[in-house]
């Protein structure tokens, strides 16, 4: 994951504008984009040997990857969700399957109420945007930066 050095004010302005744009997309456009992304992910990942995949519960207009994750689980993959256990600290991973008992993290995001699990071999990261060089603009909390650095 590349992180482009930029002024924090510029990133915050971009983040705000892009989230507003994404959340304002018509439901049909969001659904069509999600279907295309999930089809691509399932095609690409489904051709690989089963392993553990990490993904995030969708929020703020993000693409819902659960259809892909559920299809991969049916193909013997294991799924985990990153969980904030302490503010400004790396996240831990917890196992997830459809129907797993869920709670909420400090930000109100659904999380599995399962024991900690090993980190995934594949991780789908949430993002607000990325540029032509592959730099990711996230939500600004630094959780994935800390988590990946710790791994």
Confidence of residue 6 (pLDDT cuts 50, 70, 90): low
Q: How far apart are CA 111 and CA 113, in angstroms?
A: 6
**Pairing of β 122-123 and β 52-54:** parallel
Token digits for 55? 């993904």
**The pLDDT of residue 98 is above 60:** yes
Confidence of residue 136 (pLDDT cuts 50, 70, 90): confident
Mean pLDDT in the chain? Answer: 90
Confidence of residue 118 (pLDDT cuts 50, 70, 90): very high
First to last CA, the chain: 13
Q: What 3-state class would DSSP assign to 137?
A: strand
> The whole model's pTM is what?
0.85
Region 8-26: what's the mean pLDDT?
Answer: 89
Region 48-54: what's the mean pLDDT?
Answer: 98
* Predicted pLDDT of residue 1: 53
Q: How far apart are CA 50 and CA 47, in angstroms?
A: 9
**The pLDDT of residue 32 is above 90:** yes
Strands (E), 1-135: 52-54, 78-83, 92-96, 102-104, 110-112, 116-117, 122-123, 129-130
């Amino acid at each position: 994951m590349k992180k482009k050095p930029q002024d924090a004010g510029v990133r915050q302005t971009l983040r705000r504008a892009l989230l507003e744009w994404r959340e304002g997309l018509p439901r049909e456009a969001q659904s069509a984009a999600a279907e295309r992304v999930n089809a691509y992910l399932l095609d690409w990942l489904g051709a690989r040997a089963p392993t553990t995949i990490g993904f995030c519960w969708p929020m703020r207009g993000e693409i819902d990857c659960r259809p892909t994750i559920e299809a991969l689980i049916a193909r013997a993959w294991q799924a985990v969700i990153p969980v904030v256990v302490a503010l400004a600290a790396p996240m831990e991973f917890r196992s997830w399957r459809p129907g797993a008992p869920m709670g909420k993290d400090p930000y109100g995001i659904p999380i599995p109420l399962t024991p900690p699990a090993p980190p995934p071999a594949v991780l789908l990261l949430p993002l607000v945007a990325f540029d032509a060089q592959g730099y990711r603009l996230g939500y600004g909390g630094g959780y994935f930066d800390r988590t990946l650095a710790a791994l």
